[in-house]
Structure 1
Amino acid sequence: MQISVTFKNLDPSDHLKSYVQNKLNKLDKLLDNPAEANVVLSVEKIRHIAEIKIIGDRLSINCREKTSDMYSSIDMALDKLEKQIKKNKQKIRNHRQGTRSELKGRETLPEEISSSSVDESSEPQIRVQNIDFKPMDVEEASMQMDLVPDNFIVFTNSRTNRVNVLYRRKDGDLGLIQPRS
Protein backbone atom coordinates (compact mmCIF):
# COMPACT_ATOMS: atom_id res chain seq x y z
CA MET A 1 0.00 0.00 0.00
CA GLN A 2 1.29 3.44 -0.91
CA ILE A 3 0.86 5.76 2.04
CA SER A 4 1.23 9.53 2.01
CA VAL A 5 1.04 11.39 5.31
CA THR A 6 0.47 15.15 5.34
CA PHE A 7 0.73 17.37 8.41
CA LYS A 8 -1.41 20.49 8.60
CA ASN A 9 -0.88 23.09 11.36
CA LEU A 10 1.30 20.48 13.03
CA ASP A 11 5.05 19.89 13.14
CA PRO A 12 5.97 16.81 11.06
CA SER A 13 6.81 13.89 13.31
CA ASP A 14 8.52 10.71 12.17
CA HIS A 15 6.99 8.87 15.11
CA LEU A 16 3.43 9.84 14.09
CA LYS A 17 4.19 9.00 10.46
CA SER A 18 5.56 5.55 11.30
CA TYR A 19 2.62 4.95 13.69
CA VAL A 20 0.13 5.62 10.90
CA GLN A 21 2.10 3.54 8.39
CA ASN A 22 2.30 0.53 10.73
CA LYS A 23 -1.43 0.67 11.45
CA LEU A 24 -2.34 1.06 7.76
CA ASN A 25 -0.08 -1.84 6.77
CA LYS A 26 -2.14 -4.04 9.09
CA LEU A 27 -5.31 -2.89 7.29
CA ASP A 28 -3.67 -3.64 3.95
CA LYS A 29 -4.16 -7.35 4.67
CA LEU A 30 -7.93 -6.83 4.48
CA LEU A 31 -7.75 -5.35 0.99
CA ASP A 32 -7.80 -7.67 -2.01
CA ASN A 33 -6.07 -5.29 -4.41
CA PRO A 34 -3.31 -2.73 -3.94
CA ALA A 35 -4.54 0.61 -2.69
CA GLU A 36 -3.28 4.10 -2.01
CA ALA A 37 -3.82 5.80 1.35
CA ASN A 38 -3.79 9.57 1.84
CA VAL A 39 -3.60 10.65 5.47
CA VAL A 40 -3.98 14.25 6.65
CA LEU A 41 -3.19 14.95 10.29
CA SER A 42 -4.16 18.42 11.43
CA VAL A 43 -4.72 20.51 14.53
CA GLU A 44 -7.42 23.16 14.90
CA LYS A 45 -7.34 24.86 18.30
CA ILE A 46 -7.69 21.90 20.68
CA ARG A 47 -9.06 19.42 18.14
CA HIS A 48 -6.71 16.84 16.66
CA ILE A 49 -8.11 15.65 13.34
CA ALA A 50 -7.16 12.52 11.43
CA GLU A 51 -8.51 12.25 7.88
CA ILE A 52 -7.83 9.04 5.97
CA LYS A 53 -8.80 8.28 2.38
CA ILE A 54 -8.13 4.89 0.81
CA ILE A 55 -8.41 4.65 -2.95
CA GLY A 56 -8.11 1.35 -4.76
CA ASP A 57 -9.56 -0.76 -7.51
CA ARG A 58 -13.36 -0.25 -7.24
CA LEU A 59 -12.87 1.14 -3.73
CA SER A 60 -12.92 4.61 -2.22
CA ILE A 61 -13.27 4.94 1.54
CA ASN A 62 -13.07 8.16 3.55
CA CYS A 63 -13.13 8.73 7.27
CA ARG A 64 -12.47 11.63 9.61
CA GLU A 65 -12.14 11.66 13.38
CA LYS A 66 -11.67 14.52 15.85
CA THR A 67 -10.53 14.13 19.44
CA SER A 68 -8.30 15.95 21.90
CA ASP A 69 -5.42 13.50 21.24
CA MET A 70 -3.87 12.77 17.84
CA TYR A 71 -3.17 9.10 18.57
CA SER A 72 -6.76 8.44 19.62
CA SER A 73 -7.99 10.28 16.50
CA ILE A 74 -5.82 8.02 14.36
CA ASP A 75 -6.97 4.87 16.19
CA MET A 76 -10.64 5.79 15.94
CA ALA A 77 -10.32 6.65 12.24
CA LEU A 78 -8.56 3.35 11.56
CA ASP A 79 -11.24 1.43 13.46
CA LYS A 80 -13.87 3.14 11.34
CA LEU A 81 -11.89 2.33 8.18
CA GLU A 82 -11.61 -1.32 9.17
CA LYS A 83 -15.38 -1.56 9.65
CA GLN A 84 -16.01 0.10 6.29
CA ILE A 85 -13.56 -2.22 4.50
CA LYS A 86 -15.17 -5.30 6.06
CA LYS A 87 -18.64 -3.99 5.19
CA ASN A 88 -17.54 -3.38 1.59
CA LYS A 89 -16.05 -6.87 1.30
CA GLN A 90 -19.25 -8.39 2.70
CA LYS A 91 -21.34 -6.45 0.16
CA ILE A 92 -19.18 -7.76 -2.67
CA ARG A 93 -19.34 -11.30 -1.28
CA ASN A 94 -23.14 -11.13 -0.91
CA HIS A 95 -23.49 -9.70 -4.41
CA ARG A 96 -21.48 -12.56 -5.88
CA GLN A 97 -23.38 -15.18 -3.86
CA GLY A 98 -26.68 -13.67 -4.98
CA THR A 99 -25.68 -14.12 -8.61
CA ARG A 100 -24.72 -17.75 -8.01
CA SER A 101 -27.95 -18.56 -6.17
CA GLU A 102 -30.01 -17.04 -8.99
CA LEU A 103 -28.22 -19.30 -11.45
CA LYS A 104 -28.76 -22.33 -9.20
CA GLY A 105 -32.47 -21.56 -9.06
CA ARG A 106 -32.71 -21.58 -12.86
CA GLU A 107 -31.11 -25.00 -13.26
CA THR A 108 -33.55 -27.87 -13.64
CA LEU A 109 -32.41 -30.79 -11.49
CA PRO A 110 -34.27 -33.87 -10.31
CA GLU A 111 -35.84 -33.30 -6.87
CA GLU A 112 -33.70 -35.80 -4.93
CA ILE A 113 -30.44 -34.50 -6.46
CA SER A 114 -31.25 -30.84 -5.97
CA SER A 115 -32.26 -31.24 -2.32
CA SER A 116 -29.09 -33.12 -1.39
CA SER A 117 -26.55 -31.22 -3.49
CA VAL A 118 -27.59 -27.61 -2.87
CA ASP A 119 -26.26 -26.39 0.46
CA GLU A 120 -28.92 -24.44 2.34
CA SER A 121 -26.32 -22.13 3.89
CA SER A 122 -25.46 -20.76 0.42
CA GLU A 123 -28.93 -19.22 0.15
CA PRO A 124 -28.89 -15.48 0.79
CA GLN A 125 -30.44 -14.52 4.08
CA ILE A 126 -33.22 -11.97 3.99
CA ARG A 127 -32.83 -9.26 6.59
CA VAL A 128 -36.15 -7.91 7.80
CA GLN A 129 -36.20 -4.32 8.97
CA ASN A 130 -39.36 -2.76 10.34
CA ILE A 131 -39.48 0.96 9.76
CA ASP A 132 -41.76 3.80 10.70
CA PHE A 133 -42.13 6.22 7.84
CA LYS A 134 -43.37 9.72 8.42
CA PRO A 135 -44.97 12.21 6.07
CA MET A 136 -42.46 14.51 4.37
CA ASP A 137 -41.84 16.03 0.98
CA VAL A 138 -39.18 14.81 -1.44
CA GLU A 139 -36.79 17.65 -0.56
CA GLU A 140 -36.88 16.79 3.14
CA ALA A 141 -36.37 13.11 2.31
CA SER A 142 -33.28 13.98 0.25
CA MET A 143 -31.87 15.84 3.26
CA GLN A 144 -32.65 12.84 5.47
CA MET A 145 -30.65 10.61 3.08
CA ASP A 146 -27.46 12.27 4.34
CA LEU A 147 -28.35 11.32 7.92
CA VAL A 148 -29.22 7.65 7.47
CA PRO A 149 -26.61 4.94 6.87
CA ASP A 150 -28.77 3.11 4.31
CA ASN A 151 -28.86 3.87 0.60
CA PHE A 152 -32.61 4.42 0.68
CA ILE A 153 -35.37 6.00 2.72
CA VAL A 154 -39.06 5.06 2.77
CA PHE A 155 -41.49 7.88 3.47
CA THR A 156 -45.05 9.04 2.93
CA ASN A 157 -45.06 11.84 0.39
CA SER A 158 -46.89 14.73 2.06
CA ARG A 159 -48.10 16.06 -1.30
CA THR A 160 -49.55 12.81 -2.68
CA ASN A 161 -50.13 10.99 0.64
CA ARG A 162 -48.59 7.82 -0.88
CA VAL A 163 -45.58 5.73 0.13
CA ASN A 164 -42.41 6.64 -1.81
CA VAL A 165 -38.86 5.32 -1.77
CA LEU A 166 -35.90 7.63 -2.31
CA TYR A 167 -32.66 5.79 -3.07
CA ARG A 168 -29.04 6.59 -3.90
CA ARG A 169 -28.10 5.46 -7.40
CA LYS A 170 -24.73 3.97 -8.31
CA ASP A 171 -23.70 7.22 -10.00
CA GLY A 172 -24.31 9.11 -6.73
CA ASP A 173 -27.55 10.82 -7.79
CA LEU A 174 -30.88 10.13 -6.12
CA GLY A 175 -33.79 8.15 -7.57
CA LEU A 176 -37.45 8.24 -6.53
CA ILE A 177 -39.87 5.31 -6.67
CA GLN A 178 -43.51 6.28 -6.44
CA PRO A 179 -46.70 4.35 -7.22
CA ARG A 180 -48.73 5.19 -10.30
CA SER A 181 -51.96 7.10 -9.76
Structure 2
Amino acid sequence: MNLNISGHHLDITPAIREYVETKFARVLRHIDNVIDVQVILSKEPLKQKAEVTLHVPGKDIHAESIDDNLYAAIDLLVDKTDRLVVKHKEKQKNFDNTAAKHLAS
Protein backbone atom coordinates (compact mmCIF):
# COMPACT_ATOMS: atom_id res chain seq x y z
CA MET A 1 0.00 0.00 0.00
CA ASN A 2 1.39 3.34 -1.07
CA LEU A 3 0.53 6.52 0.80
CA ASN A 4 1.28 9.61 -1.32
CA ILE A 5 0.98 12.99 0.37
CA SER A 6 1.27 16.14 -1.70
CA GLY A 7 0.68 19.80 -1.04
CA HIS A 8 -0.67 22.61 -3.18
CA HIS A 9 0.62 26.01 -2.07
CA LEU A 10 1.85 24.23 1.05
CA ASP A 11 5.06 22.52 2.11
CA ILE A 12 4.58 19.07 3.62
CA THR A 13 6.64 19.08 6.80
CA PRO A 14 7.65 15.88 8.58
CA ALA A 15 5.17 16.73 11.36
CA ILE A 16 2.26 16.98 8.89
CA ARG A 17 3.36 13.78 7.13
CA GLU A 18 3.53 11.88 10.42
CA TYR A 19 0.13 13.25 11.51
CA VAL A 20 -1.52 12.11 8.27
CA GLU A 21 0.12 8.68 8.43
CA THR A 22 -0.98 8.05 12.03
CA LYS A 23 -4.53 9.24 11.33
CA PHE A 24 -4.92 7.12 8.20
CA ALA A 25 -3.62 4.04 10.02
CA ARG A 26 -7.05 3.97 11.73
CA VAL A 27 -8.84 3.96 8.38
CA LEU A 28 -6.59 1.30 6.89
CA ARG A 29 -7.38 -1.08 9.77
CA HIS A 30 -10.94 -1.35 8.45
CA ILE A 31 -10.05 -2.36 4.91
CA ASP A 32 -7.49 -4.90 3.79
CA ASN A 33 -6.89 -4.61 0.08
CA VAL A 34 -6.01 -0.95 -0.51
CA ILE A 35 -3.93 -0.45 -3.63
CA ASP A 36 -2.82 3.08 -2.87
CA VAL A 37 -3.87 6.26 -1.08
CA GLN A 38 -3.37 9.79 -2.40
CA VAL A 39 -3.74 12.68 0.02
CA ILE A 40 -3.70 16.25 -1.26
CA LEU A 41 -3.42 19.09 1.23
CA SER A 42 -3.95 22.60 -0.07
CA LYS A 43 -3.91 26.07 1.37
CA GLU A 44 -6.23 28.70 0.00
CA PRO A 45 -6.98 32.14 1.39
CA LEU A 46 -8.90 31.77 4.67
CA LYS A 47 -9.33 27.98 4.38
CA GLN A 48 -7.39 24.74 4.40
CA LYS A 49 -8.50 21.82 2.25
CA ALA A 50 -7.70 18.13 2.53
CA GLU A 51 -8.62 15.51 -0.09
CA VAL A 52 -8.08 11.79 -0.29
CA THR A 53 -8.56 9.12 -2.94
CA LEU A 54 -8.34 5.47 -1.87
CA HIS A 55 -7.90 3.00 -4.69
CA VAL A 56 -9.43 -0.36 -3.78
CA PRO A 57 -10.22 -3.18 -6.21
CA GLY A 58 -13.39 -2.27 -8.07
CA LYS A 59 -13.83 1.24 -6.65
CA ASP A 60 -12.15 4.55 -5.89
CA ILE A 61 -13.23 6.18 -2.63
CA HIS A 62 -12.90 9.98 -2.62
CA ALA A 63 -13.52 12.45 0.19
CA GLU A 64 -12.62 16.05 0.94
CA SER A 65 -12.95 18.46 3.82
CA ILE A 66 -12.42 22.18 4.35
CA ASP A 67 -11.66 23.95 7.62
CA ASP A 68 -9.81 26.98 8.95
CA ASN A 69 -7.14 24.77 10.52
CA LEU A 70 -5.22 22.18 8.48
CA TYR A 71 -5.13 19.64 11.32
CA ALA A 72 -8.90 19.99 11.82
CA ALA A 73 -9.42 19.48 8.08
CA ILE A 74 -7.32 16.31 8.25
CA ASP A 75 -9.35 15.05 11.22
CA LEU A 76 -12.63 15.68 9.37
CA LEU A 77 -11.22 13.98 6.29
CA VAL A 78 -10.22 10.89 8.25
CA ASP A 79 -13.69 10.67 9.83
CA LYS A 80 -15.41 10.95 6.43
CA THR A 81 -13.08 8.43 4.85
CA ASP A 82 -13.57 5.99 7.70
CA ARG A 83 -17.36 6.15 7.28
CA LEU A 84 -17.05 5.65 3.51
CA VAL A 85 -14.74 2.66 3.94
CA VAL A 86 -17.08 1.01 6.45
CA LYS A 87 -20.02 1.68 4.10
CA HIS A 88 -18.13 0.17 1.15
CA LYS A 89 -17.19 -2.86 3.21
CA GLU A 90 -20.81 -3.38 4.31
CA LYS A 91 -21.98 -3.20 0.70
CA GLN A 92 -19.40 -5.80 -0.29
CA LYS A 93 -20.43 -8.03 2.61
CA ASN A 94 -24.13 -7.75 1.74
CA PHE A 95 -23.41 -8.42 -1.92
CA ASP A 96 -21.41 -11.54 -1.07
CA ASN A 97 -24.15 -12.84 1.25
CA THR A 98 -26.86 -12.23 -1.34
CA ALA A 99 -25.00 -14.27 -3.93
CA ALA A 100 -24.62 -17.19 -1.51
CA LYS A 101 -28.36 -17.15 -0.74
CA HIS A 102 -29.26 -17.35 -4.42
CA LEU A 103 -26.88 -20.23 -5.00
CA ALA A 104 -28.30 -22.21 -2.07
CA SER A 105 -31.90 -21.97 -3.34
| TM-score normalized by the length of structure 2 | 0.92
Partner of 1:71: 71
- Per-residue displacement from partner, 1:125-163 (whole Å, max 9, x unpaired)? xxxxxxxxxxxxxxxxxxxxxxxxxxxxxxxxxxxxxxx
User: What amino acid does structure 1 have at the position aligned with 2:85?
Assistant: I
Measured after TM superposition, the shift of residue 25 of structure 1 is: 2.0
Does residue 15 (structure 1) correspond to residue 28 (structure 2)? The answer is no
Higher helix proportion (structure 1 or 2): 2
In our comparison, the structure showing a higher alpha carbon Rg is 1
Does residue 50 (structure 1) correspond to residue 50 (structure 2)? The answer is yes
Unaligned segments of structure 1, at least 5 residues: 107-181
Unaligned segments of structure 2, at least 5 residues: none
Partners of 1:33 and 1:95 in 2: how far apart? 17
Partner of 1:142: none
Partners of 2:11 and 2:32 in 1: how far apart? 34
Measured after TM superposition, the shift of residue 37 of structure 1 is: 0.7
Which structure carries more relative contact order (alpha carbon 8 Å, separation 6+)?
2
- Per-residue displacement from partner, 1:33-79 (whole Å, max 9, x unpaired)? 13211111111101100011111222310011001010110111111
Match of 1:31, SS state, is coil
Aligned residues: 105
Measured after TM superposition, the shift of residue 8 of structure 1 is: 1.0
Partner of 2:92: 92
- Per-residue displacement from partner, 1:95-135 (whole Å, max 9, x unpaired)? 1111112223x2xxxxxxxxxxxxxxxxxxxxxxxxxxxxx
Partner of 1:60: 60
| TM-score normalized by the length of structure 1 | 0.55
Identity of aligned residues (%): 24
Match of 1:72, SS state, is helix
Match of 2:31, SS state, is coil
Q: Would you identify which runs of 4 or more consecutive aligned residues in structure 1 move more than 3 Å?
A: none
Match of 1:42, SS state, is strand
Partners of 1:92 and 1:102 in 2: how far apart? 16
Partners of 1:8 and 1:34 in 2: how far apart? 24
Alignment map for 1:153-168 (pairs within 5 Å): none
Contact 2:49–2:64 under 8 Å retained in 1: yes
Contact 2:34–2:54 under 8 Å retained in 1: no
